[in-house]
Each structure stands twice: as C-alpha cells, then as structure tokens.
C-alpha cells in the first residue's frame, strides 16, 4: 500500500510541475501576422521612413531609453492594443511580418526590453520578472519563458527591467505600500535582492552603458522644474545608485527655476537630458559624470510672450544618443524629429508633424544597436503607428 501511495504522489508531482502554471519554465510558438509596412516620404524634408505598422489600433515603440532591437537587429519590439488589450509584438526586418509574442489566452506581459547580448527579452509577467528566450527562423518564432524572480503580492512594477553593461545583472523597481524599491538580479547566480528603498517616487530606472555597477533613476516631484525659490528644498531630477554601495545620490542639484527631464545614458560616462532655465525652454544637453560639465548639444529657443504651443515647436522633450557616439536624436511636442551632430552640434531635421500639440502619443525617439536607425511613434494618420528611419549620414 505504501509503495502505491508513493508512486501516486510522485506521479502527481510530475504532472503538477509539467504544468506551466506550476513551473518556472514554459514554451510556445508565436502567431505570425501579415506584414503591414509601408514606405513614406516626408514632404518637408524629402526623406523616407518605413511605417512598420498600419493598424487602426494604437501601436507604440518602446520608451526612448529602452532597447527595441534584438542583438542581431533582425527583430524590433513594440506594443499594441490591437487584440483588445496592450500586448508585446515584434517586427521582422527581413519579411516585414508582425510577431505576436504573448501566448494566447494568458495574461499579457508588459514593459519589454531586449537584451544587449542574447536573443532574449525581459518582461514583467504573472507578478514576476521573466526572460523570454527567442528562437527564430524564416517560418517559426518560438519563445521559452523562464521566471527570474517573483514580485511581492500587491507590488506595482515601475519603469522597465534593465540590463547592465556586461549583461550579468538586471535592475528593476516597484512600488509597495507607498515605498519605492529598487532590486537587482544576478543572472549567473540566479540571485535577487532589494538594494534600495525610498520614500519618494522614482521613475526611468536604467543602467550605465559602460559602468556595470552604476544605475540611474529619476526622482519625481510632480514637476521637472525646480521651484523659483528652492534653496531650502533642493531639487534633483537625476539620481545615481552604485549597486555595491546601495546609497542613492543626486547627480547634480538644479538651480531655482531650472528644467531637467528625460535623462538617458549615452557613451563616455555621459547622460543626455532636456533642460532649460525659462518656461518651456528645452535644450538637448549632456551631463558628464567625470567632470560634472553640462553642455548644450541641441539648442532650443526662448520667445517671450509666446504661448507654450508656439514655444514648444522650437524646443525638445526627449533625447537619446546613438550607440556609436556620433548623434543625438530628439523629438518635441509637435512630432518634429531631428538629429544633432555630437561634435559640431549641427541640427538636421529628419521629419515633421508626427504629433499634434496637446494630444497623441509622443514620438519617444530611440536607436537601434548600431546607431544606423531610429524608431519612433507617429500620429500622422490619426492613430499611433511605429516608424523606422535609416540615418544616411557618415
């Protein structure tokens, strides 16, 4: 009798752990949708771009500092609500086909980021952090999902999972009981820990592109502009955190009335951001961690007595530097996309009118892995689509 019960117990456990609901690993084949891509020529610049989506749904590229392309630059990640909820999709550069990454009839994963080194995507899914390993050929895309760590019950993820510069550590953040927690995962050791907790709201968690143990985050004050009289209440948007020391420190304090927003790691220990000293004034700037020097790389404009809608057409709101260090791409509230030469600071307008001031998705312009293409969201057709544009400059 004992041996029969023992065998039944073993069989039950085997059945349970072979069920994806009780396993840390599961696989599926992705549904492939027809290509939607269409080449468009900007009438104001004569330059071409490719709409990779052409659906009535809201299709959005990833946030401007998140990695959209898989390492071989063959698949691009984006999100869409075309299924009735927001899910993760991919675009094949070769075929143009759309890849539905989320398994059907399961919870939707969110906040995807591509790995820099492996054919993997990091996601929040089922109240946990997962890595989705991607196997692809011309006909079949297969995903193997592996759980990395669980999130506490009722924890709300903040920002995206982010990979460090050597691909060995991930960082993540969540809000729980009005506290904000930053955690790291050592991939090789399969070990996670919370390294920092704050009483203030944090956003935009991201690792340095060169220092493997240094990350940054944005502190939210409800406004990105320091109060006009802030000597007694220092205001710092950008914060740094060494994962060994575990003590968050301001990168620099803003002077009264100074705007600092939308920071993004770049090359040579620099961070790009948008900043200015007067209302609506948004220059593309860089902050050098080695010297503390702040430089304007893309000039905005200041026009007294003009409405914000007018001023914002000549100022910038998001900026990201190319991985090769040659360019900084920027967008604004009116959907103007430009690149600035990192050395000369010369501006090249690439395309315009991808947003109407006051409504529609922001372009959130970002880069591919080689610094040869940019990606952004466009409202040119009345709803958000995803565009890719080749940078044809030396």
pLDDT in the model for residue 225? 94
pLDDT at residue 255, rounded to an integer: 93
pLDDT grade for 8, boundaries at 50, 70 and 90: very low
Determine, yes or no, domain membership for 346.
yes
111 — phi, psi (to 5°)?
55, 55
**Quick check: 142 and 27 in contact, CB under 8 A?**
yes
Q: Which of 150, 134, 148 is nearest to 27 (CA)?
A: 134
Is residue 65 domain-resident?
yes
- pLDDT for 228 equals 87
Distance CA 357, CA 146 (A): 42
When pLDDT is averaged across residues 51-59 and rounded to a whole number, the result is 97
According to the model, what pLDDT value does residue 394 have?
Answer: 72
17 pLDDT more than 70: no
Could you give the 3-state DSSP secondary structure of residue 69? strand
Q: Are 112 and 62 in contact (CB under 8 A)?
A: yes
Least confident among 20-29, 50-59, 206-215, 353-362:
20-29
Query: Is 11 a domain residue?
Result: no
What CATH number corresponds to the domain at position 125? Answer: 2.130.10.10
Does 370 have pLDDT greater than 60? yes
Determine the pLDDT at residue 23.
61
Q: Place 230 in a pLDDT band, splitting at 50, 70 and 90.
A: low
**Can you tell me the mean pLDDT for 118-139?**
94
Residue 14 placed within a domain = no
> Is residue 72 predicted with pLDDT exceeding 70?
yes
Give yes or no for residue 15 having a pLDDT over 50: no
The pLDDT value given to residue 170? 98
- Report if residue 12 sits inside a domain: no
* Residue 283 domain-assigned (yes or no): yes
pLDDT exceeds 60 at position 51: yes
pLDDT value for 188: 85
> CA 136, 157, 383, 372: dihedral to nearest 10 degrees?
-50
Q: Indicate whether 3 belongs to any domain.
A: no
Range of the domain at 349: 24-390
- As a whole number, the mean pLDDT across the chain is 93
* Domains held by the chain: number: 1
Tell me whether residue 126 is exposed, middle or buried, using C-beta atoms within 10 angstroms of its C-beta: 0 to 12, 13 to 18, 19 or more.
Answer: middle
**Is the predicted pLDDT of residue 13 greater than 60, yes or no?**
no
- CA-wise closest residue to 90 among 123, 52, 56, 58: 52
Residue 237's pLDDT band, with cuts at 50, 70 and 90, is very high
Residue 346 reports pLDDT greater than 60: yes
pLDDT at residue 368, rounded to an integer = 97
* Between residues 392 and 150, the one the model is more confident about: 150
pLDDT value for 20: 44
Q: What is the pLDDT of residue 117?
A: 97
CA–CA dist 274, 333 (Å, integer): 13
Residue 331 has pLDDT above 90, yes or no: yes
Q: Which residues are within 8 A (CB) of 190 and not within 5 positions of it... i.e. 6 or more apart?
A: 148
User: Would you say residue 13 lies in a domain?
Assistant: no
pLDDT in tens, 164-173: 999 999 999 9
Q: What whole-number distance in Å separates Cα of residue 207 and Cα of residue 288?
A: 15
Mean pLDDT of 341-345: 97
Q: Where does the pLDDT of residue 3 fall: very low under 50, low under 70, confident under 90, or very high at 90 and above? A: low
């Amino acid at each position: 009798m004992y041996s029969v019960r023992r065998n039944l117990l073993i069989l039950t456990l085997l059945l349970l752990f072979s069920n994806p609901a009780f396993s840390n690993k599961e696989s599926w084949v992705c549904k492939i949708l027809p290509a939607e891509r269409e080449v468009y020529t900007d009438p104001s610049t004569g330059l071409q771009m490719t709409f990779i989506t052409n659906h009535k749904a809201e299709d959005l590229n990833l946030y401007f500092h998140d990695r959209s392309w898989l390492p071989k630059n063959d698949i691009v990640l984006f999100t869409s609500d075309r299924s009735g909820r927001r899910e993760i999709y991919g675009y094949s550069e070769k075929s143009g086909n759309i890849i539905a990454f989320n398994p059907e009839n399961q919870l939707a994963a969110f906040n995807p980021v591509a790995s820099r080194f492996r054919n993997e995507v990091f996601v929040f899914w089922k109240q946990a952090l997962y890595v989705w390993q991607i196997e692809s050929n011309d006909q079949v895309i297969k995903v193997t999902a592996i759980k990395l760590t669980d999130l506490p019950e009722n924890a709300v993820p903040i920002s995206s999972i982010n990979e460090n510069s050597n691909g060995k550590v991930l960082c993540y953040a969540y809000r729980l009981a009005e506290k904000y927690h930053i955690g790291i995962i050592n991939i090789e050791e399969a070990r996670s820990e919370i390294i920092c907790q704050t009483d203030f709201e944090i956003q935009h968690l991201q690792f340095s592109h060169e220092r493997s143990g240094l990350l940054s985050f944005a502190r939210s004050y409800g406004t990105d502009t320091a109060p006009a009289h802030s000597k007694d209440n220092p205001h710092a948007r950008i914060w740094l955190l060494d994962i060994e020391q575990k003590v968050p420190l301001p990168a620099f304090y803003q002077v009264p009335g100074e705007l600092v927003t939308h920071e993004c790691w770049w090359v040579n220990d620099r961070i790009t951001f948008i900043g200015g000293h007067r209302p609506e004034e948004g220059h593309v700037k860089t902050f050098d961690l080695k010297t503390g020097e702040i430089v304007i790389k893309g000039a905005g404009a200041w026009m007294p007595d003009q409405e914000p809608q007018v001023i914002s057409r000549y100022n910038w709101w998001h900026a990201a530097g190319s991985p090769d260090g040659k360019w900084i791409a920027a967008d604004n509230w009116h959907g103007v996309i430009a690149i600035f030469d990192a050395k000369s600071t010369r501006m090249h307008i690439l395309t315009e009118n991808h947003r109407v001031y006051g409504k529609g998705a922001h372009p959130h312009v970002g880069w591919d892995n080689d610094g040869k293409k940019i990606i952004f969201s466009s409202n040119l057709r009345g709803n958000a689509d995803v565009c890719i544009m080749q940078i044809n400059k030396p």
